[in-house]
Amino acid sequence: MTLNDKKYDYLVVGAGPYGSIFAYEAAKRGKRSLIIEKRPHIGGNMYTHTEHGITVHDFGAHIFHTDNKEVWDYIRQFADFNGYQNQVVANYKGTLYNLPFNMNTFYEMWGTKTPAEAKAKIDAQKADAMAAMGGRAPRNLEEQAISLIGTEIYEKLIKGYTEKQWGRQATELPAFIIKRLPVRFIYDNNYFNHRYQGIPVGGYTQIFENMIMHNDLIDVQVNADFFAHKDEYLAEFPKIVYTGMIDQFFDYKFGELEYRSLRFEHEVVASDNYQGNAVINYTDAETPYTRVMEWKHFDGLADDDVTIITREYPQTWDRTKEAYYPVNDEKNMQIYKSYAKEAREHQDKILFGGRLGQYRYFDMDQVINAALNDVRQEFGVSADFNFAHDTEK
């Protein structure tokens, strides 16, 4: 018996968003896929489960946000989304501040009431750092943060959080990471700048079930390790869509890429409302976790006498741990370039996708966008995603 007796067109390695969308779209075009997933469940890090009627995100808070209407319409084919808007509170040594950095934060920090007052405060604080930079662009996360928001917010809300999150000095991290967070001179605590935002009612897992579990042209094997049979898979499948770590695929031939890992501690608490908000960040250096999520607040459920919280601890990655974040600094990007070049040479046979396959700090919407673009490429530019619902609702 061989691994491809059923004459699959594609082997998809990994049942996260990139691989699942690829298999789903391939099936719409009559192509047969086998998806192998090394974990015991589908959905990658978007996987959620329900406990005490509460949807728990097993791998950290996943809040869907995008400006891309096609992506927003696409994902809503598979689930209804609620109107959740992320509003994060930061706890710095017992004092609370609104995030992202906005007029509420500035008021809490300095008592400033107008944008002009807040700007004056930030400008005075960043003057020294800007002078030291002599007009050049920020070279690292610390320089970027101080030039955006001044020294005090950097010290209280960014430095400690960032250094424990990434396990290295803010001066050794790329500037782009902090550009993810908006800075606003209006009173607006919405964590994201995007137009479309929400969480699927009932969780994310249904999205993957609807995409890949009930399709005659898609078979899914969980607890299946690609590397246990890599050579056979490569020999027997006409094309492979690989969403694991690209360095592992090439047997680390250009060196090992670095990742950051996470550990989650879930706790059921006898309380109707534990912390009063979906996410509270702990921005000091000493608290070992970066944030605490209280899942019922993502669904707006607050009247039960049980709640579930999750503490998120950053941890050093090694080959025995899950890779959550690529560390996109210069050293790693240099190594990645060699892998990307090698990948291009094999592109007729292997597609690399997703956060780990492309070594990019992708958000969910960016992965979906990349998957749809690759589907267009694979099946012709006219690929039409046939949205099954009224996009105006």
Check 252, 274, 313, 361 and give the catalytic one: 361
Q: How far apart are CA 74 and CA 196, in angstroms?
A: 12
Amino acid identity at 375: V
- C-beta of 251: minimal distance to ligand UDP in Å? 29
The verdict on whether 311 is a catalytic residue reads no
Active-site pick, 260, 282, 359, 374: 260
51 is catalytic: no
* Of 162 and 307, CB closest to ligand UDP: 162
Which runs of E-coded beta strand occur in 208-357? 218-221, 239-242, 259-269, 279-282, 291-294, 307-316, 325-326, 350-352
Choice between 161 and 352, CB closer to ligand UDP: 161
The smaller minimum CB distance to ligand UDP, of residues 146 and 240, is found at 146
Q: Where are the extended beta strands (E) located within 213-317?
A: 218-221, 239-242, 259-269, 279-282, 291-294, 307-316
344 catalytic, yes or no?
no
The least CB distance from residue 158 to ligand UDP, in Å, is 4
CB 343 within 8 A of CB 308: no
* Identified catalytic residue from 143, 312, 365, 374: 312
Shorter beta-carbon distance to ligand UDP: residue 33 or 162 = 162
Q: Quote the least distance from Cβ 43 to ligand UDP, whole Å.
A: 17
Q: Which residues bind ligand UDP (CB under 6 A)?
A: 90, 99, 157-158, 161-162, 165, 177-178, 180-181, 281, 283
Q: How far is the CB of 280 from ligand UDP (least distance, A)?
A: 10
Q: Which of 180, 195, 225, 304 is catalytic?
A: 180
Nearer to ligand UDP, 43 or 326 (CB): 326
3-state secondary structure of 290: coil
39 is catalytic: no
Q: Is 195 a catalytic residue?
A: no
Active site residue 363: yes
- Strand partners for 33: 10, 218
Output the six-digit token pair for 263.
Answer: 């550990």
Least Cβ distance, residue 283 to ligand UDP (angstroms): 5
| H or E, element range at 118 | helix 115-133
Check if 107 is active-site.
no
* Strand-by-strand arrangement of the 325-326 sheet: 95-98, 89-92, 279-282, 291-294, 307-316, 259-269, 325-326
> C-beta of 292: minimal distance to ligand UDP in Å?
12
* Size of the chain in residues: 393
Pairing relation of β-strands 307-316 and 291-294? antiparallel
Question: CA quadruple 52, 54, 55, 60: dihedral positive or negative?
Answer: negative
Q: Which is nearer to ligand UDP, 33 or 310 (CB)?
A: 310
Catalytically active residues, by annotation: 180, 184, 260, 291, 312, 361, 363
